[in-house]
Structure 1
Amino acid sequence: MVYLKTTEFFQFTSTAVFGRYSFGTLFAGQVLLYLKLSMKYLFTILLASFSVVAVAQNKVSMSIDKPQSCGDVQNETMTFLVDGSLQSAAVVKREVSRLSSCGLDEYDIRFFGRIESLSTLLKKLTKDKLIDNLTYGDLLTGINDMKQTANYKELKQIALLSQKLAETKGDIRTWETDVRLFQELGASQQVIDKVYKYLREYPENELSYQELLMKIRK
C-alpha cells in the first residue's frame, strides 16, 4: 500500500479527482479542522473516514417488496432523476442501494449514494444520453468505471481500515495486533507512542480507538 502524505491526502479528499470524474469537496471541512494538530495525519484520515461511516447510521427503508435481480434493476429507467426527488439524500441512497445485487458493497453504496457523487456521475452520463432515458444499468457502468481507479481503491481501503480502528476498543492486551491498523494507516510513531502510553496507564480502558484519539489530542 502506498501511503499519502498529509498534503496529498488533503488534496485527494478535498478534490477527490478520479480519472475523468471530479467529486468536489467531499470532506474538506473535517480535514481542514484537523490539519493544524500535531497528530494531524492520523486524525485527517480518521475524520475523513468517520464522516463517511457516519452516513451508514442513517438506515434507509427500502420500498422494494422483493429483492430484484441485477438484470431486472439494470433495465429500469431511473425515474427518480426527473420526478423531483433527486434532491433527497435518503432517496438517492435508496436508489443506488438497488444496485447491491450487482456487486456494490456497503461502502460503495455509502459513497455513490450521495447527492454530490451521483450528480458528478450524471454530468458524464448525460453527455451521451438524455437524463429521462438513463437506466440503472447506465449508472452501474459509471460506478464500475470509478471503482476501477487506483484512487478510489485506495480511499476505500483507508476508509475501511479507519472504520475498523474506530470500532475497536483500545486494549493493551491486544495492542500487538491493533498497532498494525495504525501502521497500515500510516500513523506517525508519535501517535503510536501516545496511544500505547495511554493504554499502559489505563489498562482497563473502555474507549474505542476513535474516542481515545480524540481524548489524547486535547
Structure 2
Amino acid sequence: MKTRLPILLVTFFMAYCSYAQEQTATVELPLTEQCKSLLNKKLDFLIDGSFQDEKSLQREIARLKECGIDDYDVSFFGRMSSMSAMLRKMTKEKQLEQLTFQDLFTEIEKMKATEAFEQMKKITQLSETLATRVGSLKNWNEDIKIFQELGASKNVIAQVFEYLESHPQNSKTYQEILESFKK
C-alpha cells in the first residue's frame, strides 16, 4: 500500500521548485545511447490523444528510467499536478508541439536537484518503510529512529512502544498499529 502525498503538498513543492530551479545546477551524467535517442523524441503523447490519465502519464515518464530516473520519480512526476506545473514552465519557451523528452527530463532533473525534493523523497520513503514494516520490539531500536526522523510526537512513539510490549507476537505493520489508535 503506497502512501499518497496530499495535492497541496505537491503543489507547494512545485511552486518552491520553480523558484529554486534558477539557483540549482544539474549534474550531467553519462547517458546511454537508448536514453539519448529517447531524449530527442517529441512528447507526442501530449498531443496525440494518448495522454488520458495518470497511468498513461506514468507510463510515459517511466520511459525516462533509461536515463536514470527511479520509481519514486515516476510516481511523483507522473501526477497530473506535477505534469501541469512542468508544462507551464516548459511552454513558456516552446510550443507544446515542439517539446521533447529532453525538455521533460531537464525539468525533472532541475526539480530533483532541489533540497525540498530530496527531503520530500526521504520522508516519503521513510513513511512507506514504516507503513509496510511489521512492528516488533526486536527491531524497535531501529524503528524508533525512523519515527523520530519523521517527527512523530513522543506520545505517539510511547503508544506504539506500549502496544508492542503488550503484543509481543504482533503481526501488524506500523501503519495498522497507528490506524488502530484512531478507533
Give 1:15's aligned residue. 12
Match of 2:162 among 190, 197, 204: 197
Cα 1:188–1:10 shift into 2, 3 Å: farther
Give 1:63's aligned residue. none
> What's the TM-score, normalizing by structure 2?
0.84
Taking only aligned residues, the RMSD between alpha carbons, in angstroms, comes to 2.1
> What's the TM-score, normalizing by structure 1?
0.71
Match of 1:162 among 120, 127, 133: 127
Cα 1:179–1:152 shift into 2, 3 Å: same
Give 1:144's aligned residue. 109
Give deviations 1:149-184, integer Å, cap 9, x for gaps.
111111111000001111110011211121111011
Aligned partner letter, 1:84: G
Deviation at 1:131, TM superposition (A): 0.6
Consecutive unaligned residues in structure 2, runs of 5 or more? 1-5, 20-32
Q: Give me the whole-angstrom Cα distance separating, in 2, the residues matched to 1:123 and 1:205.
A: 49
Q: Give me the whole-angstrom Cα distance separating, in 1, the residues matched to 2:64 and 2:11.
A: 27
Match of 1:85 among 35, 50, 63: 50
8 Å contact 1:87–1:115 — kept in the other structure? no
Consecutive unaligned residues in structure 1, runs of 5 or more? 1-8, 22-67
Tell me which of the two structures has the higher relative contact order, counting C-alpha pairs closer than 8 angstroms and 6 or more residues apart: 2
Aligned residue pair count = 165
Q: Give me the whole-angstrom Cα distance separating, in 2, the residues matched to 1:113 and 1:107.
A: 9
Tell me, what secondary structure is at the counterpart of 1:160? helix
Q: Give me the whole-angstrom Cα distance separating, in 1, the residues matched to 2:126 and 2:100.
A: 33
Deviation at 1:12, TM superposition (A): 4.4
8 Å contact 2:10–2:82 — kept in the other structure? no
8 Å contact 2:47–2:97 — kept in the other structure? yes
8 Å contact 1:18–1:146 — kept in the other structure? no
Aligned partner letter, 2:162: K
Q: Give me the whole-angstrom Cα distance separating, in 1, the residues matched to 2:93 and 2:10.
A: 28
Aligned partner letter, 2:158: D
How many percent of aligned residue pairs carry the same amino acid? 40
Deviation at 1:105, TM superposition (A): 0.8
